[in-house]
Amino acid sequence: MTKGGEISELNESKGRKMGGQDYIKNKKKMKKNMQRLGGKGGLSLESFVNAKTRNDNYNPSLIKKQREFYKNAKYVKKYKMSLKQQEQLGGPGPSTAKRLLESENETTEEDHVNQNKKKKKNARSLEELYEKKREEKEEARMEREAMIQAKKEEREQAEARRRALKEKMFKKTRSGQPVMKYRIEHLLETIRGTSS
């Protein structure tokens, strides 16, 4: 009974662990990992390589290159399929297909020439825009410098006037008394300025 009792206690404790929340969480994790790693059949070569080195950075240029690569591959596949169909139907042979391909190449070369011309025109217009912007910036800078210079001159003139006025106001006679003539003139000027 003791042996049987011990076994039943172990089974009960295992039952708690296996049926409990820990067991369910572990099972979910295992399921997620299996899905991530390629199912029950084990790791695919791609998932094995990418398992540790996951690069989730967004790179538009790389995406563009990949898209272009797949697009070109699709065109090549279609071309090969059309060649196979023509051979099976006994239609025009590969020589006509080659001619078609050559004519396409010529049109693409013409397109490249047209694109180059457009690029040159665009480059010229960009240069003109750049020149205009640069001239506008230069004019704005010159105007700012002129304004700064004018303000500086005004400040210097005002300072000179204040210095002259200060000298007159602090003039003294031989006995040390202030010269009232300049002070009265200053008072009269201020009264005239406020009344007019």
| Ranges of each domain in the chain | 1-40
pLDDT in tens, 78-117: 999 998 888 888 755 555 556 656 666 666 666 666 777 7
CB 143, CB 137: distance < 8 Å: no
Sort 43 into a burial class: Cβ within 10 Å, 0-12 / 13-18 / 19+: middle
The pTM of the whole model exceeds 0.85: no
Sequence-distant (6+) residues with CB within 8 A of 34 are: 40
Residue 110 has a pLDDT of 66
**pLDDT per residue as tens digits for the range 151-179:** 999 999 999 999 998 998 899 999 999 89
Give the side-chain half-sphere CA count within 13 A for 183. Answer: 8
Does residue 31 have a pLDDT over 90?
no
The distance between the two most distant Cα atoms of the chain, rounded to a whole number of Å, is 133
How far is 8 from 4, CA to CA, in rounded Å?
Answer: 6
Residues ≥6 apart with Cβ < 8 Å to 43 = 37, 51
